[in-house]
Structure 1
Amino acid sequence: MSGCIDQKKQIILDGPGNISNYEFEVFLDEWDNKIPANTTTYYILEDKTEVQVVSIVINSSKLEIIPPDSLGGSSNEDPIKNFVLLAEPANETVASSSTFMRLSNSSNVSALNYTLTQEIAQNMKVINLEFEEPVTGFIAYTLNIPGTQSFAFMKPDSEFIRVVLPKGFITGNRIFGIARPDSYDTSFDEEGRQTLLWISSKMGEREEAIQVKYYAESAPMYFFAAIVALLFGVVMVLSRYSRSKKELESVRGIFELEKEYEKKGRRKK
């Protein structure tokens, strides 16, 4: 990243995070013999104030993390928390599905040396995770996000990018919210959560950011019910107005007849 860069600040974590907090899914590249590929998955939590990020890294020595709330870089809160590392030196392991399955079932974090530093580049907070040597495995951490139903983030350096929405929320309706750019694939997992997938190599060079506006699954139904109720109310008002108008015309007609009778009565006298 170019531009004015502040001095790097080292991040010291209290200790390893809790492995059981994360979902270590072995996502396979179905377009290339179903082998693991560099993948970043964002799990938006139900309170919509945190996102859990789980990355599959293969032969990587550095990972750049840009928190979704990093614009301006002025937050004093911990930029990253609950850091979990399940990885092995790349020259000592094979990047196969069996390797990642074994790592995903591990009960202990990996004892690999790494450094976490933070800097401000182009008015954005950037966290750099660096290892002494390339590693292969899982990297998981938690980031703070604005408590809204709109999740935006800079495209990570991964071939596959996934966003898992909270249960009971979806996206795709142009009235309530959609994803930009359009996802390559949309599906639902075993828990009924909507999952969106982007493939980095199929995205345009200018598509550097991804935004997902999502909403409650029941929102369109309630919106439709509100529209029906509104239309029903309009029909009732128009119907009452029509009845009142007819009644007024009827009264006016009777009044006019009475006036005619009075006129005829006067003529006879």
Structure 2
Amino acid sequence: MKMRTKIVFMLLALMVVLVSGCMEQKKEIVIDKPGNISSYEFEIFQNESSNQTLANTTTYYLLENDTKVQVVYILVNTSKLEIYPPDILSGSSEENPIQNFVQLVGPANETAANTKTFEELSSRNETSAINYTLTQEVTQGMKVINLEFKEPVTGFIAYTLDNSGEQSFTFVKPDSEFIRVVLPEGYVTGNRVFGIARPEPLSVTYDEKERQTLLWISSKMGDREETIQVKYYTQSAPLLFSAAIIALLCGVGFVLLHYVKSKRELEAVRGILDLEKEYEKKQQKKK
């Protein structure tokens, strides 16, 4: 009987440990002041189909300094967003993971999801006065930020996240139909030596600023493709690398030529010395 009691207590203790490990650590994120609207690009991205419909879209603008990434959402009749900061994959725990928060939205039942509406929203000088809550949860070591509105909204949401500071960006696939990554000016991806995007994007285009833009469509991605990684590099990197390789090969060739030439000269000198020795031997025999 005592043994059974011990086993029951051990099982209960194990369950407490497991449950406490799985419990969500939840805290509220407070935004002290509205973000700077002018610091973002509110591009109206449309489906390339014939009806040119607007759909939930997430665009990541990678900045040249590599330490920040700007995220702009197109929301259509949405009441909740789950935001996964890039640092969740490295285990970082920033106190204020979301910065420069901007909302340009209206109630979904009063806001038509068309180009004209979004153009009007993108031209506003003040953020929308719609109540929202931002909370951060940590579940099994993974951090997620929940943005919730009291009612569904349509419009733009923008914010800034910290990045790794390297020419690599990894993020969990957001709950959007269209996912876009805009690289900094002068940077590209796609070379297997210098860096590629995984999974492979559906399309790679250039915008009016000649920035390379990658596009994924959630409905066309596999169930296992939950994480997207983009490694990028300066556009001149392959050319400079090729020039460095050519210079190195030329240097190696020069060293080899110099070695062959020196070897021949040494062999010639040795031949002369051998002839002199033979001549001296012959002269000694004559004596």
- Tell me the equivalent position of 2:158: 140
Query: Match of 2:192, as an amino acid?
Result: R
Under a length normalisation based on structure 2, what TM-score does the superposition of the two structures give? 0.89
- Tell me the equivalent position of 2:14: none
4+ long deviations beyond 6 Å: none
Structure 2: runs of 5+ lacking an equivalent: 1-18
- Tell me the equivalent position of 2:258: 240
Asked if 1:17 corresponds to 2:39, the answer is: no
Pairing of 1:55-204 with structure 2 (within 5 A): 55-71=73-89, 74-204=92-222
Q: Distance in 2 between matches of 1:89 and 1:126?
A: 25
User: 1:146-177 deviations in whole A, cap 9, x for unaligned?
Assistant: 11111000000001100111112111111111
Q: Distance in 1 between matches of 2:139 and 2:233?
A: 32
User: 1:221-256 deviations in whole A, cap 9, x for unaligned?
Assistant: 111111111111101110110111111111111112
Q: 2:25 touches 2:139 (CA, 8 Å); kept in 1? A: no
Under a length normalisation based on structure 1, what TM-score does the superposition of the two structures give? 0.95
Summarize the Cα distance change of 1:215–1:120 in structure 2 as closer, same or farther, 3 Å threshold: same
Q: 1:69 touches 1:145 (CA, 8 Å); kept in 2? A: yes
Identity score, percent: 66
SS in 1 for 2:216: strand
SS in 2 for 1:29: coil
Summarize the Cα distance change of 1:262–1:7 in structure 2 as closer, same or farther, 3 Å threshold: closer
Displacement of 1:73: 5.5
Summarize the Cα distance change of 1:225–1:247 in structure 2 as closer, same or farther, 3 Å threshold: same
Q: Distance in 2 between matches of 1:100 and 1:154?
A: 26
Q: Say what the alpha-carbon RMSD is for the aligned residues.
A: 1.6
Q: 1:72 touches 1:124 (CA, 8 Å); kept in 2? A: no
Q: Distance in 2 between matches of 1:7 and 1:32?
A: 46
Q: Distance in 1 between matches of 2:63 and 2:158?
A: 14
Summarize the Cα distance change of 1:214–1:113 in structure 2 as closer, same or farther, 3 Å threshold: same
User: 1:110-137 deviations in whole A, cap 9, x for unaligned?
Assistant: 1111111111023111100111111111
The structure where helix makes up a greater share of residues is: 2
Aligned residue pairs total: 268
Displacement of 1:259: 2.2
